[in-house]
């Protein structure tokens, strides 16, 4: 039988971690090739090509490295892969998924997965997640859905997924919308049709800086007042509630928004920013009037990635369009 080709890249993360010595913490050491041996079932489903592109904790991934991973993934599709799976750490999975999703313009699926328990722990979830991710990547029904995250039997869309627990096995959720699909026994079941997507070209530059500041009670203005002088090209605020800040911050944000794009998201972890509910100083209506934009359902971290990519391809004028879309 002619099996489909599946390309897998390993970047590191808990899925690849074990301790060098007793009592030492786990660190990324296990190659993709070794991880593949933990899912022998795969060899009857696909012709697998696996490469270890990195052995990094996901906190140390950066945009330049992700662009090189993207170029590897694009090449795999060009060579005929039916889908691509990326194995990485879960700490920044919600951000890398968004990064790739804005740049992934193939109908073929790009699936991200990892593990909450290291390879050495009893009940390690890496092999099951890898097998599920491969099944999702090869399913015809996954085509046209862009980048998705597969963890603990659930399939999440890149623009909604969030790590919402630090250590639990069930660490990922998609607030409001829920998972896009589930693994039911060995099959991939979607719960809703694919959504229209908006993608971007590759950035022309990578030196742009986008700051992310979280509003907090009685916070001072020092960082806000120095954002421009420090050379930032854009600012995302994780605001209170429906996209609010203090009166002091509102004045500082107005001055920043005259120079660089400012996006206000919600720090709550669920729900959309408002547009026309509150009128106090520092409310969403006030901030819109001062030149900031509201992120809608896009969380602060994902909004920062969108802004970095838009500035990178000199399309920051389309920020409002992209935010309305998400």
Q: Which residues of the shown chain bind ligand ASP in the complex (CB under 6 A)?
A: 13-14, 57-58, 89-91, 114, 116
Residue nearest to ligand ASP (CB): 89
Q: Which of residues 22 and 167 has its CB atom nearest to ligand ASP in the complex?
A: 167
Least separation in angstroms between residue 15's CB and ligand ASP is 6
Smaller CB separation from ligand ASP, 14 or 316: 14
Question: Minimum CB separation from ligand ASP for residue 196, in Å?
Answer: 31
Q: With respect to ligand ASP, which residue has the nearer C-beta, 57 or 261?
A: 57
∠ CA 320-306-115, nearest 5°, is 140
Enter the tokens of residue 152.
């603990």
Q: Which is nearer to ligand ASP, 92 or 283 (CB)?
A: 92
Smallest gap from Cβ 170 to ligand ASP, in A, equals 13
Min. distance of Cβ 102 from ligand ASP in angstroms? 21
Closer to ligand ASP by Cβ: residue 14 or 154: 14
| 54, 30 Cβ separation under 8 angstroms | no
Nearest approach in angstroms of CB 35 to ligand ASP is 13
């Amino acid at each position: 039988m002619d099996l489909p080709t599946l390309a897998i890249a390993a970047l590191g993360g808990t899925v690849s971690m074990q301790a060098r010595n007793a009592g030492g913490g786990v660190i990324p050491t296990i190659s993709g090739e070794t991880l593949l041996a933990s899912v022998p079932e795969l060899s009857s489903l696909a012709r697998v090509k696996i490469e270890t592109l990195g052995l990094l904790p996901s906190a140390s991934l950066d945009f330049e490295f992700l662009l090189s991973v993207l170029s590897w993934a694009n090449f795999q599709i060009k060579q005929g892969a039916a889908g691509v799976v990326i194995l990485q750490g879960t700490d920044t999975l919600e951000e890398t998924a968004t990064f790739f999703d804005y740049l992934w313009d193939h109908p073929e699926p790009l699936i991200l997965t990892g593990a909450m328990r290291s390879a050495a722990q009893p009940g390690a979830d890496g092999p099951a997640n890898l097998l599920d991710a491969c099944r999702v990547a090869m399913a015809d029904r996954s085509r046209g859905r862009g980048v998705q995250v597969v963890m603990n039997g659930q399939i999440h869309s890149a623009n909604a997924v969030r790590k919402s627990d630090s250590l639990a096995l069930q660490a990922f959720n998609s607030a409001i919308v829920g998972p896009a699909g589930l693994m039911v026994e060995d099959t991939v079941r979607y719960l809703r049709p694919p959504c229209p997507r908006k993608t971007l070209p590759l950035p022309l530059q990578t030196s742009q800086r986008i700051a992310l500041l979280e509003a907090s009670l009685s916070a001072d203005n020092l960082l806000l007042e120095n954002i421009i002088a420090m050379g930032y090209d854009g600012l995302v605020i994780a605001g209170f509630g429906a996209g609010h800040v203090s009166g002091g911050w509102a004045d500082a944000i107005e001055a920043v928004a005259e120079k660089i794009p400012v996006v206000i998201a919600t720090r709550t972890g669920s729900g959309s920013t408002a547009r026309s509910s509150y009128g106090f100083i520092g409310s969403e209506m006030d901030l819109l009037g001062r030149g900031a934009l509201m992120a809608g359902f896009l969380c602060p971290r994902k909004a920062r990635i969108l802004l970095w990519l838009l500035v990178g391809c000199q399309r920051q004028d389309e920020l409002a369009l992209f935010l309305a879309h998400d």
